[in-house]
Chain A
């Protein structure tokens, strides 16, 4: 355990040293502040932030994560020559990445909100929650990719592809589904499709928390009914957790057996 803490401590210092993370937090701070100053009220600011975090968080987490693991490859190999459990090295690496990323995101967004007053606390909470979940999910995927592919350029390409799939291609496929099966009741398949993609899930949850459900007519009513009830929220949280846990343990499995 002591070893794990030491590794975590070192990883945290190392990640902070790269200054990337500070830049990341600062950019969230400045963007949020700018949205407030440009006349966005609390709820408008959250919608703009939602758009932004759904683009920024996944791509930064996945690219930063992949590059970081590639760069600390030699250090990991060095550590593995020591009498330390591989799982401890892995935990240190994982948390050393996810903690600073989520904390700088939280601080970056929360400071402007604290300055200008917190509006819509429930929506804000779900925005922050989805941001943190997405950080964990995409960092996990990043580590898996970096461990799977030894070639750095291929790894980064695959990481980009993953981001591209979740944020754009997936919705394109959903659009095609809606188009092809427009004559059938699609509400249940659509609920399913938005649960399966963590980015869609975050987006839909925050949108429904606003009055925007009214915009969506019948579809919105069914979504609101599902996500408004406890069972819907529980299922969403479980789904998000599965998205966190699955890459994490898959990465652990690879890490334990990998021949560095």
Chain B
């Protein structure tokens, strides 16, 4: 008897507690034909930690401010149309916010404000998941935020002119962010990192962006793994950074007068493993980049597989495959402070008498012509001329002009699988 009474009292107390508690999460539905018709109404009616479910429909709204912890979920992809007004569509200024399952489109282009589809500032633990953003100037914009998760979004810009389009996923002064399985197409920069640390970019697809597929500056201790960077205006740029890990990415079809697979500028102590560089004008362009470990990459049919400037020191290229590139390596100096060893070069024509799979003759990957053209660019017009073939052949036998120190003393006879 006593137990039942205590139980009843407990239930009563719980009921009262739940009724009066301001933090008890509620669920608010937004429905074009329901009681709450707009998302802004739902947000202003909600308390912290509520959930707002938005039913499929067409919502012409913008400048939605989320300044409290909130879960915002769209069912069956409701459309939020910003009608090109000069503001963000969703602005998040609070921690613990989830935004998931929306189609967000049409943000006004502004030269003054970086308008975005979803802008997150000063936030901790937010999650932006499975949204589709079209014509949003900047797509997903994170500033001064930490511990966020950006997963499975699609950001598609209008991609007409560089000055009229923003970045797909833009991070500024953030840390510990994971960007995973997103698809960024037709923006200015696909993914943009500035002053970001300890973050990871994984399994993304970045293509047809006007400038860089990935633009990466002052962002230490980050990694990007298993991404595809295909046919971007100028490829991928990684600059002024240390401790980066780049693994299993594919850099493909970045072809044009100033396009690279990967541009490295002032990078140090970083790792480039298992990537594929295919059909790029320049596979890797390295400037002022020191102590890089470049291993097990495939360089296939690039104009230049690697262009390494004289201000790069202690870079290590080993066990890479260089296959059918017009030029394997180019440099602008007679000196070389970098190490090439145990790579496979398809141009190598030495022999292997003791069958240990290492060629017995060293390979000089810098041909005379590639050296001449990096000294004097217009000389490239003599490409494939008989005269140049003779020069290259002569230089191969007695290297005198090309950097003698830049040599692979143990070239592999067969490519690495």
Seen from chain A, the residues whose Cβ lies within 8 Å of a Cβ on chain B are 47, 50-51, 54-55, 167-172, 174-175, 178-179, 182, 186-187, 190, 194, 200, 203-204, 207, 211-212, 214-221, 223
User: What's the Cα separation between A133 and B399 when bound, in Å?
Assistant: 38
Instruction: Supply 6 further A-B pairs (C-beta < 8 A) apart from A167-B386, A182-B375.
Output: A172-B387, A182-B378, A187-B378, A214-B255, A216-B383, A218-B257
B379 at interface by CB-CB < 8 Å: yes
Distance in Å: Cβ of B42 to nearest Cβ of chain A: 52
B281 at interface by CB-CB < 8 Å: yes
Q: Which of A54, A182, A212, A214 contacts B376 (CB 8 A)?
A: A182
Distance in Å: Cβ of B332 to nearest Cβ of chain A: 13
Is A171's CB under 8 angstroms from B379's CB?
no
Total A-B contacts with CB atoms under 8 angstroms apart: 79
A-B contact pairs, 18 of them (CB 8 A): A51-B384, A51-B389, A55-B386, A167-B387, A171-B385, A172-B387, A174-B382, A175-B387, A186-B378, A203-B385, A207-B384, A212-B303, A212-B383, A214-B256, A214-B259, A215-B304, A215-B326, A217-B377
Q: Which of B372, B377, B390 contacts A168 (CB 8 A)?
A: B390
* B: contact size bracket: 20 to 34
Chain B residue numbers with a CB within 8 Å of A168 are 386-387, 390
Seen from chain B, the residues whose Cβ lies within 8 Å of a Cβ on chain A are 255-259, 281, 303-304, 326, 372, 375-390
Distance in Å: Cβ of B335 to nearest Cβ of chain A: 21
Chain B residue numbers with a CB within 8 Å of A215 are 281, 303-304, 326, 380, 383
Report the nearest B residue to A174, measured CB to CB.
B382
Report the nearest A residue to B386, measured CB to CB.
A167
Distance in Å: Cβ of A92 to nearest Cβ of chain B: 33
Is A178's CB under 8 angstroms from B386's CB?
no
Is A217's CB under 8 angstroms from B257's CB?
yes
Chain B residue numbers with a CB within 8 Å of A170 are 387
If the complex has contacts A214-B281, A217-B377, are A171 and B257 also in contact, measured as CB distance less than 8 A?
A: no
User: What's the Cα separation between A215 and B373 when bound, in Å?
Assistant: 11
Chain A residue numbers with a CB within 8 Å of B281 are 214-215
If the complex has contacts A168-B390, A171-B388, A211-B255, are A218 and B382 also in contact, measured as CB distance less than 8 A?
A: no
Distance in Å: Cβ of B199 to nearest Cβ of chain A: 33
